[in-house]
Amino acid sequence: MNGIRSNGSAARRVQTLLSAAVPDRLPRLGALVVGALILWFSWPTLLSLHASFTESADYTHGHLVFALAALLIVRELRRAPMAPATGSLAGGTCLLVLLLVVVVGHASTTLVVAQLAIPMLWLCAIWALSGASNARRIATAFAYLYFAIPVWNLLVEPMRRLTVYIVTAWTRAAGLPAFIEGNLIHVPTGTFEVEGGCAGLRYALVAVALALFSCLLLRRRAVPSILLTLFALAVALVGNWLRVFITVAAGLAPEGQIAMWVHNNHTLMGWLLFAVLMVPVFYVDRRLPSPSDSVSPQRAVDRRVPSPEQRTPVYVVGIMLGLGIWLNYRIGDDGVVRPPRTVTFDGPQIAEWDRTAVWQDARRPVFIGPTSESAAWYVNGDARIGTYLAHYTTQEQGSEVVFAHNLPAGRTGFVSSRRGVTATAASGDTLPFEELDVTDAQDRRRLVWTGYRVAGKPVATDLAAKAFQVAGVLAGRRDAQALVLTAVCEDDCEKARSTLSRFASSAAEPLYEQAARSLDLQAQRDDVGAQ
């Protein structure tokens, strides 16, 4: 009996040791696997962010913001233990939605959508795995990452206008011989242009990010945090205005050594002014009250074997991330080698229409980075149609039919209204277009019809073009075309509208087909030239 009791006691001790050690490792192993999957899924988006941090002067602080956010998370985890992990269905649903948003952002070459979703996706992964209470504790750290997301460019234009207004007022108050015309500042020795980099966005973002980091680290209340942030923002703006003003003033005596240094190093001078003017911000930061950073009492660690209900969130999140990784690679680079330049091709012959001249004036549409393009005027009697077609073998970020810098109405056109119209092709297919009512710089009115064909599907609106781009990429097609037609209005635009409809019915499909063959035709010409 003693031997039996001894063996039973030994077995219980082994079981106790296993229950104390193995369960402690299993959740950590699951967390490590999920973390690796999140990093794998996020890698294409992180690469795009890294490119923004290294290529854009306004976001060179991006890597620092990510490091500071990690420090905030570590500080919060050390401040108090996390609550026991409880999976969240709401968090899992949010995670699934954001996974799809990131995939759609990459598939539609709208990287800013994927970049905006990444911090929320990471937070929702924690929400799904460990519950809302734990996610709330580190939500501010993930929100802090948005100071590194390149979405703040929307503020450049209003900040530039404010800079011009302030510098103009200072220039006049100082009695400097300068004439301001829009974004141009004329002085006797030359002209300065207040470009986007002069708006001061980089200084404003860094100042606000540093002020908020201090407030989050010290766990300040809302009112002192807002006051310090606004003070830092004001100091950064004043420093940038002072930089531009000094540059203009130095331009009045360009032969001096100091003036030459200012002219050649105005960005460095901006950071020096920023560093000096941030000293009062740091002083105010030290004087503001901060709550005591008390540490919550340690909770006993639950070392029981995780139940199936506790393991399920890890499995579900892992499966969703695996699906997202597969979709990311599905829509990844197709390996097609892009031609180094845009190929120009001649438009096709259209029945009853004569191609008379190449379209080269300011009304000509502007599309960025097409693989091939054609622009010509077609005439039939007194009817005259301007025709432009851009063909993209593969759409990429910045080289796509829907892009902010594309100008279907040309460089001088002002769009007063939009509406949807259709034309019936010779094949019987319905071709949708968006009609733009455009006024040119000479106050001449004309109609512009814009249509797209994305992955072989005709669409008229930007949103529909992006939707078909996503569907096309998932199906293995990345091609797209943009067709722009224009006709001048006379007394009214009904005649122009009728002419555009008649031309589109007979010319749209031949134009699309000619664009698709243009690269093969150019390759044949290059081969003949080489021989």
Task: Report the relative pairing of strands 184-187 and 343-344 from DSSP bridges.
Answer: unpaired
Mean pLDDT on 265-270: 73
Chain centroid offset of residue 434 CA: 25
Residue 12 lies in a domain: no
pLDDT confidence band for 26 (50 / 70 / 90): very low
Q: Are residues 348 and 494 in the same domain?
A: yes
Tally of CB atoms within 10 A around 151: 12
Residue 414 identity: F
pLDDT, residue 397, reads 86
In this structure, the answer to whether residues 516 and 371 fall within a common structural domain is yes
Asked whether residue 298 carries a pLDDT value surpassing 50, the answer given is no
Residue 271 lies in a domain: yes
CB 415 within 8 A of CB 437: yes
Whether 360 and 506 share a structural domain = yes
**What tens digit of pLDDT does each residue of 52-80 get?**
999 888 899 999 999 999 999 999 988 88
C-alpha–C-alpha distance, residues 436 and 419, integer Å: 7
- Same structural domain, 101 and 178: no
Q: How many CB atoms lie within 10 A of CB 326?
A: 12
Examine residue 450 and state whether it is found in any structural domain, yes or no: yes
Does some domain include residue 295?
Answer: no
Task: Judge if 478 and 376 occupy the same domain.
Answer: yes
Spatial distance between the Cα atoms of 55 and 479, rounded to a whole number of angstroms: 28
More confident call, 492 vs 20: 492
Taking only the tens place, the pLDDT of each residue in 380-410 is: 988 899 999 999 988 988 889 999 889 999 9
pLDDT at residue 148 in the model: 94
Q: How confident is the model at residue 89 (pLDDT cuts 50, 70, 90)?
A: confident
On whether both 138 and 160 belong to a single domain, the answer is: no
Report the DSSP pairing between strands 480-488 and 343-344: unpaired
Record the tokens describing residue 424, joined without a space.
């019936």
DSSP state of 251: T
Domains in the chain, number: 3
What is the distance between the alpha carbons of residues 197 and 347, in angstroms, rounded to a whole number? 41
β partners of residue 449: 435, 485
Using CB atoms within 10 Å of the CB of residue 100, give its burial: 0 to 12 exposed, 13 to 18 middle, 19+ buried: middle
Strand (E) or helix (H) holding 414: strand 414-424
Please enumerate in sequence order all residues whose Cβ is within 8 A of that of 21, keeping only pairs 6 or more positions apart, or say none. none
DSSP string, 320-377: HHHHHHHHHHHSS---PPPPSSPEE-PPPPBTTBEEEEE--STTS-B-SS-SEEEEEE
| Per-residue pLDDT tens digits for 460-497 | 999 999 999 999 998 888 999 999 999 998 777 888 99
Between CA 310 and CA 129 the distance in angstroms is 9
What's the rounded Cα separation, in Å, for the pair 342 and 347?
15
Whether residue 28 has pLDDT greater than 70? no
Residues 360 and 253 in one domain: no
Q: How many whole angstroms separate alpha carbon 391 and alpha carbon 25?
A: 55
Q: Is 426 helix (H, G, I), strand (E, B) or coil?
A: coil
**One domain, residues 72 and 138:** yes
**Domain assignment present for 1:** no
* Residues 396 and 487 placed together within one structural domain of the fold: yes
108 sits in which H/E element: none
Last residue of a domain, one of 287, 322, 351: 287
Q: What is the pLDDT of residue 529?
A: 44
Confidence of residue 186 (pLDDT cuts 50, 70, 90): low
E strand or H helix at 192, and its extent? strand 190-193
Q: Average model confidence (pLDDT) for the chain?
A: 82
Q: How far apart are CA 281 and CA 210, in angstroms?
A: 10
> Is 57 domain-assigned?
yes
One domain for residues 169 and 35: no
Residues 139 and 159 in one domain: no
Among residues 376, 351, 375, which one has the least CA distance to residue 502? 351
Beta strands in 362-501 (DSSP E): 372-380, 383-392, 414-424, 430-439, 445-454, 457-459, 480-488
Q: Say how far apart CA 480 and CA 455 lie, in whole Å.
A: 6
141 shares a domain with 29: yes
Range of the domain at 91: 18-150+304-330
Average pLDDT over residues 505-524: 72
Examine residue 426 and state whether it is found in any structural domain, yes or no: yes
In this structure, what DSSP letter does residue 522 have? H
pLDDT of residue 80: 83
The answer to whether residues 387 and 359 touch, using CB atoms and an 8 Å cutoff, is: yes
Question: Alpha helices, DSSP H only, in 131-200?
Answer: 132-137, 139-144, 156-173
- Confidence (pLDDT) at 335: 53
For residue 531, the model assigns a pLDDT of 45
Confidence of residue 95 (pLDDT cuts 50, 70, 90): very high
pLDDT of residue 185: 66
- CA 274, CA 90: separation in Å to the nearest integer? 44
CA dihedral 230, 232, 236, 241 (to 10 degrees): 50
92 in a domain, yes or no? yes
Overall average pLDDT of the 234-259 stretch:
76
- pLDDT category at 368 given cuts 50, 70, 90 is very high
Instruction: Round to the nearest angstrom and report the end-to-end CA distance of the chain.
Output: 101
